[in-house]
Amino acid sequence: MSKGSNEPFFRRAYGRLVGQLATRAGTHHLAAIEDAVQVSMMRAVERWPRDGEPQNPEAWLYRVAHRELQGSLRRSARRQALLTEHAPPPEPDGGALLPLLSACCAEGQPERTRLVLALKLVCGFDVREIAQRLFMGEGAVRKRLERGRRALRAQGELGSFDAPSIRLMVYAIFAEGHLSHEAAVRAELCDEAIHLARTLVRTDGAPTSEALLALVLLHTARLPARRSETGALVLLEDQDRALYERAKIAEGLEALERSARGNAYTRYHAEAAVAAAHALSPSFEATPWQDVVNAYAHLERVSPSPLHRLNRALALAELGGAEAGLELLRDPPPSWLEGSYLWSLVLADLNRRAGHRQKAAYHRAQAVALAPEGPIRDAVRSRLSAV
């Protein structure tokens, strides 16, 4: 067995092993911990094809990493009695993973640094993989990793996990994968977000965590339909809904139902409701637009963003006509959105549908000029030429 043939197992075991050893040894030994875990995995790649895979692969990795860390600390004459002679078996999934993820989310670091740290320590991606998935240079990734590791070492030890900060990080990992149209490889980030959300649900079972799990599952279920065979971005109204992953939709709906316990209705609930409406509709035209409008209106209240208003305007246009959508967009957006292709694309579409030809032509030119080159600009041109 090669590491490549079982890469998801090694990647997810990496975060759990780092978390458990950091719990025992403290985060100030983070470098030695990461080295020990890496050594255990390299030995597995060397030995398992020859000797056979052990009955409990992760326990085997833990014992090897534990011995390697123990030897490293003894060689450096630091806290020789830090670890017990006999390593306990790994804790249940999430026992140390979530405190590690929570530590990566600690305030004081830029969000990008937190994301890089989480992808390395918790998700097990190496520097090259992180750079590829976040479209960063490897040097920039290494610098952010070092800054994040320094902050983590300064904490000294892992505490209990903070569910709200973990939810934000899981959402950030999901968004990096789902909202990018640049490379299909980033779908792996959505899979990592699903794994972490499932772990959080198993650990705390909170309705808000269930809503987050529903959100990432229902959105990710539609990923196979978002690209054509040539790699072009496929807009929602043109997607082949037979390609949606039904197992993920079913699991997402179950999580959404469980999230209804209690009185909380968060941004995760609202976004999951929108995703459910699209995932369940047999066609674009059959979408329950009133439900979508209501969900975006709630999002604007609990998590104000002009992007929610933009999406609500599109849903209103499907429900009550283009003028209804334009009315919602009468007030100018913040400068960062006004300079975005998204704002111009929506105005081009709604003005065309409302019969305002000159305004539509102006915003159409703006949308094409502002869209990033590549799949996004191609999709904008396709959208505008189709209408």
Q: What is the pLDDT of residues 194-250, one digit of tens each?
A: 999 999 999 999 999 999 999 999 999 999 998 887 777 788 888 999 999 999 999
Average model confidence (pLDDT) across the chain: 87
State the pLDDT at residue 229: 79
Tokens of 22: 């950091």
Residue 124's SS3 state is coil
Q: If we measure between CA atoms, which residue out of 104, 68, 73 comes closest to residue 87?
A: 68
pLDDT of 294 reads 95
Percent of the chain at pLDDT > 70 equals 91
Tokens of 208: 């808000």
CB 364 within 8 A of CB 348: yes
Residue 55 sits at φ, ψ, to 5 deg, of: -65, -35
What confidence tens digit (pLDDT) does each residue in 158-204 have?
Answer: 878 899 999 999 999 998 888 764 544 468 889 999 999 999 999 99
Decide: residue 4, CB within 10 A, 0-12 exposed, 13-18 middle, 19+ buried: exposed
What is the three-class DSSP state of 233? strand
- pLDDT tens readout for residues 275-305: 999 999 999 999 999 999 999 999 999 888 8
Asked whether residue 4 carries a pLDDT value surpassing 70, the answer given is: no
Question: Which pLDDT score, from 0 to 100, does residue 132 have?
Answer: 80
Query: Higher-confidence residue: 327 or 132?
Result: 327
Q: What are phi and psi of 227, to 5 degrees?
A: -130, 145
Closest by CA position to 156, among listed 266, 27, 54, 300: 27
3-state secondary structure of 23: helix
Interatomic CA distance for residues 49 and 62, integer angstroms: 18
Rounded Cα distance, 33 and 100, in Å = 13
Q: How is residue 332 annotated by DSSP?
A: P
